[in-house]
Amino acid sequence: MPRRRRLVTIWTTGFIALVASLIVSGFLVGGAGGETVRQGGLQVSFGGSVAPEVLPRVGTTPVSVAVRGRVWALGGGPPPSLRRIAIEVNRLGVLDRRGLPVCPAQRLQAASTADALAACGEALVGEGRVGGLLVLPEQVPFPFGGRVVAFNGRMPDGSPAVLAHLFADRPVPLAFVLAFRVGPGHGVFGTRLVADVPARTRQTAHITSFSLRLHRVFEAGGERRGYLSAGCPAPAGFTSATFPLLRANYAFVGHKTVADTLVRTCRTG
């Protein structure tokens, strides 16, 4: 009988935190345009869209966000691993967890997608795909790809988090939990995410592409709420507003920090 393939599992509180940047870069993005940042031999691109395209001038409404991204080394080979990331998102994008079921991080270890959904399905907030290269000792790096399910989560210390669970069954079964903490931002930036990627993770997996659609509408306290909500407080007499959407700093192993601020435009009816 053929030997059963081993399930490779990596658990970390900051696994390839590029995912964080890809998720938050989708808030309030008008259209499907993308951004590309190049520094030295590294290039990072990301983009996304939001629905509905027209947002209320006063207050917010639930939104659906689709994001995508890619990272690669211009000289070929696996891209460098991310070491640390600090991201702040404009306060016009609201993440509302009140009344939404919560998935403790411990439930998602060593699980297939079906297992993850069985354990935390009530906390589901998004789905997507991921691709990359797995680098193991004494082996040639090989590509992997799989499905992502994202949950409204909680870290072991009780702090709020977004947990993105990856499972791929080819070329070998892989299970990843990508977790990042959510906290308050400063000034015009209302949400902040910070992650340090452990050395063990940086040496093993290299994410090269990622896509995710975040959307969840739920009832809590007799009120209809959206996990992601947004508004467009354009000045009187104007139907659009331009603002700094995202401020981010990415630190890669062996590379200088890549920093960028995204500016976007929202529309109102």
Tell me what pLDDT residue 71 has: 80
How far is the C-alpha of 69 from the C-alpha of 211, rounded, in Å?
A: 6
Domain chopping of the chain, boundaries? 8-268
Q: How far apart are CA 239 and CA 252, in angstroms?
A: 40
243: left (phi over 0), alpha (psi -120 to 50) or beta: beta
Distances 74 to 12, 41, 42, 148 between C-alpha atoms, Å = 28, 5, 6, 27
What is the C-alpha end-to-end distance of the chain, expressed in Å?
64
- Residue 3 confidence (pLDDT): 41
DSSP 233: -
What's the pLDDT score for residue 101?
Answer: 95
pLDDT of residue 245: 67
Cα-to-chain-centroid distance, residue 193: 10
Strand 93-95 relative to strand 228-230: parallel, antiparallel, unpaired? antiparallel
The string of DSSP codes covering 43-83 is EEEEEEEEESSEE-SSS-EE-EEEEEEEEEETTSSSPPPEE
pTM to 2 decimals? Answer: 0.79
d(CA 171, CA 16): 20
DSSP letter at 104 equals: E
The answer to whether the CB of 177 falls within 8 A of the CB of 108 is: yes
Other Cβ atoms within 10 Å of 170 Cβ, number: 12
**Cα Rg of the chain, angstroms:** 19
Copy the structure tokens of residue 58: 């006063």
Structure tokens at 97: 């967890």
User: pLDDT tens-digit profile of 136-185?
Assistant: 778 888 888 889 999 999 988 998 888 889 888 777 777 777 777 888 88
* 3 state SS of 121: helix
| pLDDT tens for the 269 residues of the chain, in order | 444 444 444 443 333 334 444 434 334 444 445 678 787 777 887 766 778 888 899 888 998 877 777 888 888 777 777 777 677 777 878 888 899 999 998 898 778 999 999 999 999 999 999 888 888 778 888 888 889 999 999 988 998 888 889 888 777 777 777 777 888 888 888 877 776 666 766 777 777 788 888 899 999 888 899 998 888 888 888 999 887 766 777 777 777 777 777 677 888 87
Per-residue pLDDT at 1:
41
